[in-house]
Each structure stands twice: as structure tokens, then as C-alpha cells.
Structure 1
Amino acid sequence: MILFNMGKTKYIGIVVILLLITIGMISGYKYCATPAVHSLFPNPPDTSNMLYLVNFTSKDIRKAVINEEIFLEDGSVRKKGFAALPQDYDDFRSVDLDEVYWKGEHVIGGDFRGTSFRSAKCIGGIFTGSDFRFCDIRWSLFNKSDLSNSRFCRATLFRMFVNDATLENSDLRGANMFGVAGHRANFRNCNFTNALMKESEFPEADFTGSEAVNVKFIITVFTGAKMDSMDLSYSDFTGAGLEDVSFVNSRLIDAEFRGAHLQGADFTGADLSGCNFFAAEFVNTVFTNAINIPEGLRELIVDGQITGLCYVNGNDI
């Protein structure tokens, strides 16, 4: 009787183990079946309370943002900044910085809200953690500068140069970035929501992990850029140069790619729900594991790619 019970117990144990293994495999399959892009972006694109370009922002809002007194971390008042002797944490809000020559200067945590900073030469400078909200920085040179962790909300960066610069973790919501040159720039983990980035140049730049909802990228050049794990929903890439650009695991809901140059682009694992690829150019364009691929486009994919084809039967213009 004891031997029988032991055998029965052993049998039950084996059955339990097999059940656990089966459940684990099913759970693992469900986990693997969840697209990475859904894990990265579990919530819908946020289009609420978007910041608008300075041209469309009321004077009252501008004054409120610029005139707000912001103290240093120790509670002390910022020192008045001087163009001839820039220092960390200085307040430049009412200082004329047009055409200043600040090559290699060090202004960490500077306050430049509403400042006129046009045609300045600030190559190789360090401006980390600075506040450039509503600042007019048009035509200025910030090549090879460190502008990381800074705030550029509703700033005017028209024709600004940030080649080889670092802007990682910066806030550029509602910024006017028309014609910006950012070759090889680091834009990782930034927020560009509702910014204007038309006719700009960002070849080989890195935008990984950034948010760029409802951004105008019309005729902008991104050749060789990294745009992985980005939320680019509702953005417009009409006529953009996207050759060899990587969109791996990015969310592109309702994005426009009309007439875009997508030779060598990589949409592996991307969410292409509602995208418009009318008249876009494809050569070795990768769509491996992409989801929600438009029906007409999906029919052209061979071995995960579209090669030598121009999609002209897409969504309505």
C-alpha cells in the first residue's frame, strides 16, 4: 500500500511539473507575442496641452514665463549676467546677447528666457541645464556645444547650427527649429512635440527614445539618423530624406510619408497604423515584424523588404 501511494504521488508530481512547464511556455509565448513597441508605448499618444510656436502664443503667457522669478537650488537669487563675463547660473533675461563671441564659454544652468541671442558664436561651449524658453537664438552657432538637459520650449532656433552638439534630455516642445543644422547631433530622449522642424538637416543624428508627436519634418534631411524607440505619431515627413534611417520599434500612428525617400530605411518592429506612404520611394526598405502595415503596402513586401518600388496607390492625399 505504501509503495502504491509513493508511485501515485510520483505520478501526480510529474503531472504537476508538466502542467507548470506548459503554463510557463504559454505565458512566455504571450509575453513574446506582445510587440516591443506596445511595451514601450502602453498609452495613446498625448496631444493634450501642446505648446505652440512663439508666434501663436499670447503675450501674457510669454510675459508670465519670462518674468517668473526662479531661484537657485539653495534659494539664493541669481546674479545679473554680463555678456563680457558669462558665468554659471547667471540671469541673462534682459541682456542683449546678439552676435556675442562665446567660444568655449561655460554657462551651466544659465537663465536665457526671452533673451535676444541672435547670430551668436558659441562653438564648443557648455550650457547644460540652461533655460532658453522664448529665447531668440536664430542664426547662432552652437556646434560641438553641450546643451543637454536644457529647456527650449517655444524658443526660436531658426537656422541655428548644432552640428556635433549634445542636446540629450532637452525639452524642445513648440520650438521653431526651421532650417536647423544638426549633423551628427545627440538628441536622445528629447521632447519635440508640436515643434516645427521643416527644411532642417539632421544626417547621422541620434534621436533614440525621443518624443516627437505632431511635428512638421517636411523636406527635412535625416540620412543615416537613428530614430529608434520614438513616438512620432501624427508627424509629417512629406518629401523628407530618410535614406538609411532606423525607425526600429518606433510608434508612427497616422504619420505622413508622402513623397519621402525611404531607400534603406528600417521599420523593424514599428507601429505603422494609419501611415500614408503615397508616392514614397522604397529600395531595400525593411519592414520585418512591423505592425499595422497599410494594406496596399503590405502586398509589396517580399522577405520583409520592399525593393525598387514606389507606392502610388496609398491613402488619399
Structure 2
Amino acid sequence: MNITTKDLAKACGVSRTTVTRALSGTGRISEETKSRILNMAKELEYQPDLLARSLVKGRSMTIGIVLCDLKNMFFPSVIDAMERVARDNGYLLNITLHDNSKILEENIVTQLAGHRIDGLLLDPASQEKNHYNYLKKLPFPVVIIGGDKLEGLSFVGNNEFEAAGSAAGFIAEKGYHSLYFVFPGFEGKEADFYGGHRERLKGAQTASKNYNMDFSVLADQDYIEQTAQITAAAKVSGDKPAFLCSGDIYAGYIILNLQKKGFFAGKDYGIMGFDHLDLMQMLPISLASVENNVEQIGNEAIGLLLNMIENNHKMQTIYVPYQIIDGTSL
């Protein structure tokens, strides 16, 4: 049997209004009465009718999060930060994945809209402007996270172009003359996805030109074997190469696999990653990386969205600062 506020009021000998005040923590009510009602609610295993509450408030108290996948360690860390803030503000997160499919993304967002979510945090499946017209017509605020900002929509993330440029400049100042940008997700073509990674590529390429470094891209799935071949050839020529990986995880794979072939980071080649993941502490050397302050991105994104939901805050672009972290890998 479902216990209602009417049942609680009868059990405590108070009005339903008093019960509502105690449960919501609002209005004038003595601490003694509030404590008695809350204890009785616990004893009777009272469960609030969230649907009824949302109808009264005009909100579902639910926020949708739509991401490409959870393989990228960036997103679990962002979600962890956002969930804490959402929970503290009485919101639940509805997390779904679009697997880099524009069609699936739009279908998911349409479904979430049907469930009357109060706001949406989205990692885009595409950077096509025409694809995102539908987002501007939604009846709730939208914040883009990670990747690249989209015109007319709020955005929270790093300035990826600038961060990659700083990383490339840092590598050049270490004395390297050849830089290879590593991101196998491109697979040799200008992908519609991976907006943030594409900005990193552009930033690294621009900085390499400014520093007179030779620049190449390793975009295929056999990038590990390619780095081994490049390093072997460089040992003959004496020009030690540097690899800038658009993700620490790629750098980790390269370091471990090249070590098996007798090539060592920092000695035979230089390498730097992105994200500054704690997991990389397991490597035999300290990995130079770009710290993108993932937790701050999560906090800023959910904070902005809540402000837009509750205070009609205007659209905003927030660039979270990054830091260059040195390591013995360079």
C-alpha cells in the first residue's frame, strides 16, 4: 500500500500542509514537528510521488546527458563531477549514449524531451550547423560539453586549439624539430565527429609552423607500429621525434609497446598526451600532458545549466583553463 501525505498527516495529527512543509523543508514549522513527521515518514516507508511533484513545480527535476560513449576517460570524470552538483540541487541525471550517430542522437534527444527533462548536457555527434537547428527549438536549455562550441548554444570546455598550440610550443622549446600528432579516430579523413580533437590538430599544426617544426598526422589504427618505424628511422638520422597524442591513453599504448621493441620515451623519442589521467601514473616514466581540469568542466557545465533552468540565465561560453604538465617523457 502506498503511503500518501494524507496518511502521514493523519498518523502525526497535523495538516497535509504541515506535512508538505516538513518534507520539502520549506515554510514555517517547528523543528520538533518536522522531526516527528520525518521519523514517521521513514517508519511508514513513505515514497514521494515524483510525478505529482513535478506537475506542481512544472519541472521533472531530471537533466539529460547525451554522450558519444564512456570509453573516453574524460566523460566518466565529467559525469562524476556533474552528478554530485545535480544531486545536491535535487536533480537526477538521465545518461544515454549516441555512439557518434547523428540520427541516434536526435532520436535520444526527442525521447528525452518527451520525458519532460528540464535541461540537456550534450557532447555532439556532429559539427554540422544544419544538424543542430533542432536543438535551438527545444523547450529547455542546452549546454554543449567538450568538443567544440556550436553557434547559438551554450558551451563549457577547454579552448582546444589554444591548448594544443601551447603543447606544441612546449615540445618545440624542449629542442624537438619533428612533431607527429596522434589520433587514430580520424583514420586519415576529415571526420565530422571529434570536433575537439580536430581543434587540437589545428592548434598543434599552427604552432608547429610558427616554431618551424616538421608536422605530420598519424590517424590510422596502426599508429603504434608507425611510431615504432619513425623512432627506428630517427635513431639512424639522429633527429629524435616527438609525438603529441590527443589523449593520454594513446600515449600510454605507445610507451608500453615501444618499450618492448627497445625504444624508450624521453631517450629515443619524446611523447606528450592530453587529459593528465591518474591512470598514467602506472607508466614507467612520468608522462608530460595537458591538464584540462575535467572536474571544473563538469561543475561549470552543470552550474550553468541549472542557472539557465532556474534563473533563465542567458546563453554563455565558458572556457575552463588548462595547464601544461611537464614529464620525463619529453
Instruction: State the TM-score, normalized to the length of structure 1.
Output: 0.20
Q: Which has the higher strand share?
A: 2
Q: Which has the higher helix share?
A: 2
